[in-house]
Amino acid sequence: MKPETMTPQERFDAAVNLRKPDRVPVCPLGFLFAGPLTGMTMAEFYTDLDAATAAQRKIFADLGGWDVVGLSGGTMTDPFPLTAIYPNKMKLPGRDLPENAIMQFDESEPAMVVEDYDIIIKKGWNHFFFSHLLPRIMPGYGGGIFGTIKAISKLLRFQKSFKKDIRYWESRGIPSLVGMACVVPYEMFSTARTLQQFILDLYRHPDKVTAAMDAALPDVIKTTLRGTKALGVPRVFLAGERGAGDVINPQQFDQFYFPWLKKLVNALIDAGITPLFHFDSNWDRNLSYFKEFPKGKCILDLDSATDIFKAKEILDGHMCLMGDVPAPLLTLGTPEEVSDYCKKLIDEVGRGGGFILSSGCSVPYDAKFENIKAMIDTAKTYELSKG
Amino acid sequence: MKKNEITQHLVDLNELEILDLVRKELEGGADPLEVLDACREGMIIVGKRFEAGEYYLPELIMAGEIFSEVSEILRSVIKEGSAETKGTVVFGTVRGDVHDIGKDIIVGILRGVGYRVHDLGTNVETEQFVKKMQETGAPILGLSGLITTAYNSMREVIEALDKAGIRKRVKVMIGGGVTDERVRVHTGADAYGNDPTDALKLCAQFMGGN
């Protein structure tokens, strides 16, 4: 087997810059699986950050390590930063769900009413979020000045601990995939309103919705730039799922989604930040839109609902792709099946470079150890063993 | 009665126009069951347009909303049980999973085209599914889930149907973001689907025996 000739950071940078690294970089996204695999219940994993962090570091070592750590620390378990981008109630394991479930958004009731668009139009998103929306989602936080200070200090505490975790990995030569996270106003509104109500708003109040999206975007950009500076990782997790082709129609994508996505992405790129599109659901129909973003400046991370092979055809030489070992394969498949799929990804999507091998969305919390290992080991050995 | 006009308004998603017309027709003495039929006809066309790729989820959501608004108006004038149904379906998101968007859309369209649907909600316990299947005698059970937690919960439900001795008379379809043939085999379901068209086809197939 040929030796590796790059550090994880160099390998990662090469892929993002559309070059061919010594071998494909691998990033099993998220760390929820560290709970069950180290004997913790999910309820413990969500509530005891120190123990969860220790579990993440242990499982990283047990699996032999990998190139890029994505969404470590409390990023997937702390309700506060998640609420800031997905503003609705959450159900937690051990509290609202069985001990070994994962946290989920509860969109059974809207947290925001139609009249709230007017507040956003007048006062911006941050004012609306802290003064009006947050107390409805998390009573005791936001609302008046004291509640707002309480909420901001929670967010800063999270930021501090995440920053510490990022530095821990950096000190071991492992780059973090992203620091700050954000979404376009469409995604925030549709979570707060619930998807169904929001879709009805698009039919019933289109002008109000777009005016509120215009008013919200500057706050999204400001918060994202500020957070990026604080965390010191020049890559942003830009999540998207409800603008996908299997959710929204083409005319609505043009009318309500893409213009704001473009403005947000351009603002990030202008500030020297690489946006990572973590785009779940099926974006097949919208893939050519990604050509409108500058070459080599973004990463498109797909969850296996989008055809990543088609994405390669369309975006080859233009945008780094990341993905997409499917959740059912990691949970129910065998190591051989995982390895075979990874080889196919490396051969086809990794051809010529510009590819990061990863799970489709985050690795499921109930993925099998040997399947995650098969993914990592295939990345480490497949290309280097070839003649 | 302007039956075709009602159907067309539903297909074109003209919310205000259809509600106005339905009220006027009822005031004018129109048969509420015919109004319902006109709407169902519209929902069938909406479903076909979705299948043909001319309509997308937002159109289904809007059509479902309009249908439920019309149903609300009709509720006071149609006697319970007098409308014909295509069959009874029990639906729910399984234990450990609270995702409801996909489920709600499917439930809306199934109701729209004429199925009687018992929606048990989200994070539904296994026993609740079994109890509802026994109580209603429904021939179809739809299990929904978006996260991998759902795999074992779905399997538990299907095993429980077996234990209760009703598995043979029930067709189980599963669906949601992470279902595929591998998951179908794992859970023991009869079929899986990825979108509302699949659900409509499967229900028709289960009811028609083809």
pLDDT at A107: 85
Residues of A in contact with B151 (CB under 8 A): 328, 331-332
The total domain count for chain B is: 2
Which residue, of B18, B44, B75, is where some domain finishes?
Answer: B75
Q: Is the CB of A104 less than 8 angstroms away from the CB of B99? A: yes
Provide, as residue numbers in chain B, all residues whose Cβ is less than 8 Å from the Cβ of A328: 148, 151, 178-180, 182-183
ipTM: 0.86
Question: Nearest CB to A102: which of B57, B62, B147?
Answer: B147
Average of per-residue pLDDT across A310-323: 98
Which residues in A53-91 are b (16+ Cβ under 10 Å) and which e? bebbbebbeebeebbbbbbbbbbbbbbbbbbbbbbbbbb
Give domain status of residue A339, yes or no.
yes
Residue B210 pLDDT: 45
Whole-number percent of chain B with pLDDT over 90:
68
Q: B70 and B91 share a domain?
A: no
List the single best residue of B18, B59, B101, B197 to mutate versus A (max A Cβ within 10 A). Answer: B101
Tell me which chain B residue has its CA closest to the CA of residue A95: B96
| Residue B91 and residue B160 in one domain | yes
Task: Dig out the tokens for A257 from the structure.
Answer: 């989604």
- Residue among A101, A108, A326 minimizing CB distance to B149: A101
Chain B: residue nearest A108 by CA? B100
Question: Is residue B80 domain-resident?
Answer: no
Same-domain pairing of B98 and B44 = no
The highest-confidence range among A243-252, A361-370, B81-90, by mean pLDDT, is: A361-370
On whether both B24 and B103 belong to a single domain, the answer is no
Q: In terms of residue numbers, what domain contains A319?
A: 8-107+159-385
Within a domain: B81: no
Helix (H) or strand (E) holding A164: helix A145-171
Instruction: Please check whether residue A75 lies inside any domain of the structure.
Output: yes
> Lowest-confidence range among A17-31, A197-211, B166-180?
B166-180
Q: Does residue B94 fall inside a structural domain?
A: yes
The predicted-structure confidence for A261-316, as pLDDT tens digits, reads as follows 999 999 999 999 999 999 999 999 999 999 999 999 999 999 999 999 999 999 99
Q: What is the rounded average pLDDT of the residues A331-345? A: 97
| Yes or no, beta carbons of A97 and B195 under 8 Å apart | no
The arithmetic mean of pLDDT across residues A206-232, rounded, is 97
Q: Which residues contact A199 (CB under 8 A, 6 or more apart)?
A: A190, B57, B58, B61, B62
Task: Kindly report, residue by residue over B180-208, the tens digit of the pLDDT.
Answer: 888 999 999 999 998 888 999 999 999 98
CATH assignment at residue A260: 3.20.20.210
Q: Do B147 and A91 touch (CB under 8 A)?
A: no
pTM, to two decimals: 0.91
Gap between the Cα atoms of B127 and B130, Å rounded: 5
Least confident of A155-164, A177-186, A232-241, B108-117: B108-117
A245 lies in some domain: yes
Domain hosting B108: range is 87-208
Q: Strands A89-91, A104-106: parallel, antiparallel or unpaired by DSSP?
A: antiparallel
Residues of chain B contacting A247 with CB distance shorter than 8 Å: 56-58
pLDDT digits (tens, 9 = 90+) for A46-96: 999 999 999 999 999 999 999 999 999 999 999 889 999 999 999 999 998
From CA A258, how far away is CA A242, in angstroms rounded?
A: 12
pLDDT at A251 over 70: yes
* Chain B residues lying within 8 Å of A331, measured CB to CB: 148, 151
User: Does the beta-carbon distance from B148 to A328 stay under 8 Å?
Assistant: yes
Residue B135 pLDDT greater than 90, yes or no? yes
Rounded mean pLDDT of chain B? 91
User: How many structural domains comprise chain A?
Assistant: 1
Edge to edge, what strands does the sheet with A355-359 contain?
A26-27, A355-359, A320-325, A299-302, A274-279, A235-240, A181-182
Mean pLDDT for chain A? 96
Helix (H) or strand (E) holding A345: helix A335-348
Supply the CATH number for residue B42's domain. Answer: 1.10.1240.10
Confidence of residue B78 (pLDDT cuts 50, 70, 90): confident
> What integer is the mean pLDDT of B69-82?
83
A-chain residue closest to B57, CA distance: A247
What pLDDT is attached to residue A387? Answer: 66
The share of chain A scoring above pLDDT 90, in percent, equals: 94
Q: Does B182 touch chain A (CB under 8 A)?
A: yes
Cβ pair B202, B209 in contact under 8 A: no
Asked if pLDDT for residue A237 goes beyond 70, the answer is yes
